[in-house]
Amino acid sequence: MTKPNPDSNTIGIHKLYAEDPISADKTIWGRVTNPLTRRGFLKNSGLMAMTTALGSNIPFANNMPAGLIPAAFAQTDDAFNIYGKKGLKILNDRPLNAETPAHLLDDRVTPSSKLFIRNNGIPPSIPEVTSQDWVLKVEGESCETPKQFTISDLKKRFKPHTLQLQIECGGNGRSEFYPPAKGNQWSTGAVGCPEWTGVRIKDILEDVGIQKDAVYVAYEGKDRHLSGDQNKRPISRGVPLWKAMEEESLIVWGMNGDDLPLIHGAPLRMVCPGWPASVSGKWLSKILIRDQVHDGAKMTGQSYRVPCEPVSPGSKVADEDMCIIESMPVKSLITFPKSGIDHGLNESLKIRGHAWAGDLSVKKVFLSIDFGSTWHETLLEDPVNRFAWQHWTQDVTFPSEGYYEVWARAEDEQGVSQPVVLPQWNPRGYLNNSCHRIAVQVKA
Amino acid sequence: MSRLLSLILICFTINDTRANEDPQTGLIMDAGWELVRANCGGCHSYDIITSQKSDRQGWEEMIRWMQSSQNLWQFDPKTEETILDYLTKSYPPSESRRRAPITKTLMPLN
């Protein structure tokens, strides 16, 4: 099989299956087949993921050959999408990382099928995450009474909250930095704003008791290190106590009215919105109340850190001069139309998208159709709740035939705006919030 | 007829990869690529190699980071030299720029 053109946006499930159908079964669904017959779903591995995505049972599941893409997903014009497959651009399949093209982020509430995937390690298996024995332990130096909770304990003992909260990978936009930064080469699609259901981290912390010396709240999850080393964690990050205590910082079991999908952290994950999504730990098994800034995997060194003071592009920066990223910067996306369309002269084009600003709200969003020479304020909605992205729209007519770019630029409540060129270069390529641009060809 | 044409076109598009890329891994098949295939696919997919661009020092830093924290084994000097030569030649940084034009796949067709 040939490898698809690297420029193509349409790789995904087909590419994974083309390279190695057996491992694609495992990567996408967690599916392992009977080694003798090469059929079925060994110990029901992956069956639930596949049926959930299909939205129906597979009556002859035991006969289903290994390495077969379910026909429903092979149809490009099918009515539904599945997470991490159709439409999403797969950047890396081990660990699985996939982003969503801007025009597929048009929904006001991001469906799980269109939420980016950022894994640092190997997710736990379906049997592990569906087990009734899953517990969340709460401990750490500054925890008064270490406790553990089953998921039904959490549901019974604490008040549930449902909120629409945006999460964005700290490295979203990395691909534009020069000199290039190592890591997944995200363009614009590592962001989303689903509706989450769970309990406040605050309520759990108050239940176990927070000692006076507490400064940080960290997570551990059940994903495994890529090397297979049991003593290594792929990632274990956290947030300062004040961020964990915010009313919108949650431990969730639900997404958009359903249980969390495996790939997004089932059965439990943290959501600390507005910060790099790596603080919103998946497959959550432990919360640590720390008396120091957490020092878990990808908290230290250069990970999720930027130079404390600005540096020239390409600089080497010592670890002690790197500061942990907290709130993400103001940003916006044009989600309609899709870049690259033809549009009729004299016809109005309703352009729309979303904007968000980390811990802050967005005050204004502007559009330019003349490469930033003039800017026009769009109609901007308030967020449905704090930390939800805000929708904006604007009717545009183009003055002549020709090639246009539509640029969007948001401004936060403190008057801080997105740059038109790239923001401050940093060694790992985080926080690129330069304005989003789409191309439109206007024809008579 | 147009269906046949588009079929041919599709086949042509699918095969439109650089002839010197290994179809399984996507690695450019230049001197030393088999060593990279043998040493660098244990933990992660090859996509993470082929999507990076760096100079020799940058590639060496990535290897050192994987050796110090990600359980990558030590290479004998000759292997390391070959791997670094390969990566530096095959995946160098592109020319410097402030901000690139909108990517080709997002442009109008004409």
Q: What is the pLDDT of residue A193?
A: 98
Tell me what pLDDT residue A93 has: 76
Domain ranges of chain B: 19-94
Domain boundaries, chain A: 13-80, 126-324, 331-443
Strand order in the sheet with A135-139: A147-150, A135-139, A284-290, A216-221, A238-240
In the structure encoding, which two tokens stand for residue A375, read together? 């800017």
Q: Does A296 touch chain B (CB under 8 A)?
A: no
At the topology level of CATH, where does A331-443 sit?
Immunoglobulin-like (2.60.40)
Neighbours of A224 (CB within 10 A): 17
Identify all chain B residues contacting A180, using CB atoms and an 8 Å cutoff: 52-54, 93-94
User: To the nearest whole percent, how much of chain A has pLDDT over 70?
Assistant: 81
Cβ of A9 within 8 Å of Cβ of B98? The answer is: no
What is the tens place of the pLDDT at every residue in A301-323?
999 999 999 999 999 999 999 99
Q: Mark yes or no for CB contact B45/A178 under 8 Å.
A: no
Q: How many CA atoms lie within 13 A of A27 on its CB side?
A: 28
| Assigned token pair, A329 | 């910067």
Mean pLDDT of A21-43: 62
**Using CB atoms, which residue from A403, A421, A439 is nearest to B98?**
A421
Percent of chain B scored above 70 by pLDDT?
Answer: 80
Q: Which CATH architecture best describes the domain B19-94?
A: Orthogonal Bundle (1.10)
Q: How far apart are CA A51 and CA B23, in angstroms?
A: 31
The neighbouring-strand residues paired with A443 are: A344
Q: What is the pLDDT of residue A83?
A: 40
Topology agreement, domain A126-324 and domain A331-443: no
A217 vs A7, more confident: A217
Q: How far is A3 from chain B (nearest CA, A)?
A: 5
Q: Looking at the complex, does the CB of residue B19 fall below 8 Å from at least one CB of chain A?
A: no
Q: What gap in Å lies between CA A99 and CA A254, rounded to an integer?
A: 21
Residue A278 pLDDT grade (very low, low, confident, very high; cuts 50, 70, 90): very high
- Predicted local confidence at residue A209, as pLDDT: 98
Residue where the block lists tokens 């000199």: A179
**Contact criterion met (CB < 8 Å) for B108 and A342:** yes
For the cut 90, the answer to whether the pLDDT of residue A96 exceeds it is no
User: How many angstroms from the chain centroid is the CA of residue B80?
Assistant: 18
* Among A373-377, A416-420, B63-67, B101-105, the least confident range: B101-105
Q: State which of A109-113, A408-412, B17-21 shows the largest mean pLDDT.
A: A408-412
According to the model, what pLDDT value does residue B96 have?
Answer: 65
- The verdict on B97 touching A (C-beta cutoff 8 Å) is yes
Q: Is the pLDDT of residue A256 over 90?
A: yes
Mean pLDDT of B62-70: 92
pLDDT digits (tens, 9 = 90+) for A157-212: 999 999 999 999 999 999 999 999 999 999 999 999 999 999 999 999 999 999 99
Q: What is the mean pLDDT of chain A?
A: 87
Q: Which CATH superfamily is domain A126-324 in?
A: Oxidoreductase, molybdopterin-binding domain (3.90.420.10)
Q: Write the DSSP symbol of residue A256.
A: T
User: Given a cut of 80, is residue A44 above it in pLDDT?
Assistant: no
* pLDDT of residue A140 exceeding 80: yes
Which has more confidence, A257 or B110?
A257
Residue A439 DSSP class: E
Residue A106 tokens, joined: 């048009």
Phi, psi of B24 (to 5 degrees): -75, -45
Q: Determine which helix (DSSP H) or strand (DSSP E) holds B65, and give its type and residue range.
A: helix B56-69
Q: What is the pTM of this model?
A: 0.80
pLDDT in tens, B32-54: 999 999 999 988 999 999 999 99
How do residues A349-371 score in pLDDT, each as one tens digit?
A: 999 999 999 999 999 999 999 99
Asked whether residue A427 carries a pLDDT value surpassing 60, the answer given is: yes
Residues of B in contact with A178 (CB under 8 A): 93-94, 96-98
A14: closest chain B residue by CA: B14
CA distances A178 to A6, A172, A196, A259, Å, are 20, 15, 36, 40
C-alpha distances in Å from residue B92, one per residue of A175, A178, B86, B98:
14, 12, 10, 18
Can you list the pairs that A149-158 forms with residues at least 24 positions away whose Cβ atoms lie under 8 Å? A149/A204, A151/A253, A151/A267, A151/A268, A154/A198, A154/A199, A154/A204, A154/A251, A154/A253, A154/A268, A155/A199, A155/A253, A157/A207, A158/A199, A158/A200, A158/A203, A158/A204, A158/A207
* pLDDT band with cut points at 50, 70 and 90 for residue A411: very high
pLDDT of A343 reads: 97
Average model confidence (pLDDT) across chain B: 83
ipTM, two decimals: 0.71
Are residues B82 and B31 in contact, defined by beta-carbon separation less than 8 angstroms?
Answer: yes
What distances in angstroms separate CA A210 from CA A32, A63, A410, one per listed residue? 43, 53, 38
